[in-house]
Amino acid sequence: MVGLSSSIQEYLKAIPEPRYRILKNSTPLSGGIIKRGEIRLVNFASNDYLGLAQDPRLVERATSYAREFGTGSGASRLVTGNSPAYELIEQKLADLKGTEAALLLNSGFQANATVLASLLNKFLHRGPGKSEALLFTDKLNHASLHFGAQAAQARQIRFRHNDLGHLEELLEKSKEQPGNRIIVTESVFSMDGDILDVERVRQLARQHDAFLYIDEAHATGVFGKNGMGLCAGGISRDELVLGTFGKGLGSYGAYIACSQNVRDYLVNACPGLIYATALPPQVLGAIDAALDLVPGMETQRQYLKELGSFLREGLEARGFSTGGSTSQIIPVIIGDDATVIQVARKLEDKGYLVGAIRPPTVPEGSGRLRITLSAAHSHDQVAGLLEALVSTLEEVGS
């Protein structure tokens, strides 16, 4: 064990200063504000896109569930953790998404890591006379999707980020190869804020007889029919769509929308469902309340869209690129890690908190500020950020 401690120490020492991660205390408040110690900052680093995490209606439902059912579920869903609230919520979700079935899981990470792996274990068909599945993945897919592929020891065929022409080329190239095909991508990309052409990827999946797995973590609450994601309303039996509750829906947890067949399979085979304690009642209460509210939040979604256009246009007019972003996630790519940190610190001094994202979360050389907007932000807060950003980027010569 002495060997383990010293190799951990060596590992930590070798991390360059701008990449060394530490946890900081944060207390989110309403109105897009966060407290760091005694300092109040406007929070542009949270995924609470609709401001629901501070909404009294979610707090009320969460509290009433806790009062009625306690603070813990006590066991996994297959043992005694499957409270009636689960089935109620899953039915609401299936109706809202337009699917046969939905299944709640404890988090998006857990879902991608274990649902994808469970599906791949069936798709891979390893053994004599069987062919390995062909797994096509976007190069910038979230780490949890990579974990899912790795857990199943699947080889990924990576297409260039959000480049469906490249995906098509790779599908064509492997046309004669045996094995099931599965395409895995996000619909709103977490670090770049660009958006997948869902219809086109569906068309490619149909043409090449591929199963489609789409992560809608950052689209849920913000885009699509009833705000339920870009795939809502027409999910086929050969698709699985994942959404989360910890971002636009203001609480915690994840769900998949899929066929009844896939749901039944996962209940029997997915370790993330079988071997994990069910979500606590207060979380189910908050999810239930969010699902009642989100379809009616069109005004907030429209406002969020306007904030996004305002900030992007303001940055671009002053010569700063926001990449391919067309959503509430706006990256300002800087490149060098130390400069990313320097800019983020200076912005903090001016009262604004933005994400300072460095490799390995994003590819080498693409360190960036990640700005996330929320319907809880006022127009003045965003205008203030724009001015502070431009002056800071000019100060450091970026």
Ligand X SMILES: Cc1ncc(COP(=O)(O)O)c(C=O)c1O
Chosen residue from 77, 97, 142, 263 binding ligand X by CB under 6 A: 142
Angle between helices 117-124 and 143-151 (to 10 degrees): 40
- By beta-carbon proximity to ligand X, the closer residue of 125 and 146 is 146
- The reply on whether position 325 binds ligand X by CB under 6 A is no
Q: How many residues bind ligand X (CB under 6 A)?
A: 14
Q: Are 241 and 257 in contact (CB under 8 A)?
A: yes
Q: Which residues are paired to 44 by β-bridges? A: 354
Least Å from the CB of residue 107 to ligand X: 4
Token readout for 51 is: 């401001």
Which range binds ligand X by CB under 6 A, 69-77, 211-219, 352-360, 361-369? Answer: 211-219
- By beta-carbon proximity to ligand X, the closer residue of 77 and 142 is 142
Site mask for ligand X (CB under 6 A), range 249-268, x = bound: -----x--------------
What is the per-residue DSSP string for 282-339?
HHHHHHHHHHHHGGG-HHHHHHHHHHHHHHHHHHHHTT---TT--SSEEEEEEE-HHH
Distances from the Cα of 49 to the Cα of 15, 25, 61, 90, 330, angstroms: 32, 21, 20, 22, 13
Measured distance CA(246)–CA(248) in Å, rounded: 7
Amino acid letter for position 82: N
Least Å from the CB of residue 245 to ligand X: 7
Which residue in 152, 293, 175, 287 sits closest to 226, CA to CA?
293
What is the per-residue DSSP string for 69-107?
H-S---SBIIIII--HHHHHHHHHHHHHHT-SEEEEES-
Residues in the chain: 398
Least Å from the CB of residue 253 to ligand X: 7
What is the per-residue DSSP string for 244-267?
ESSSTTSS--EEEEE-HHHHHHHH
- Confirm whether 125 is a catalytic residue: no
Considering 48, 97, 216, 247, which one is annotated as catalytic? Answer: 247
Measured distance CA(27)–CA(126) in Å, rounded: 48
Site mask for ligand X (CB under 6 A), range 181-210, x = bound: -----x---x--------------------
- Confirm whether 142 is a catalytic residue: yes
- The reply on whether position 226 binds ligand X by CB under 6 A is no
- By beta-carbon proximity to ligand X, the closer residue of 44 and 109 is 109
- Confirm whether 247 is a catalytic residue: yes
Which range binds ligand X by CB under 6 A, 67-75, 160-168, 213-221, 289-297? Answer: 213-221
Chosen residue from 46, 118, 137, 144 binding ligand X by CB under 6 A: 144
- The reply on whether position 217 binds ligand X by CB under 6 A is yes
Least Å from the CB of residue 48 to ligand X: 12
- Confirm whether 190 is a catalytic residue: yes
Token readout for 385 is: 């950020």
- By beta-carbon proximity to ligand X, the closer residue of 55 and 192 is 192
Residues that bind ligand X (CB under 6 A): 107-109, 112, 142, 144, 186, 190, 215, 217-218, 244, 246, 254
**Residues assigned a catalytic role:** 47, 142, 186, 190, 215, 218, 247
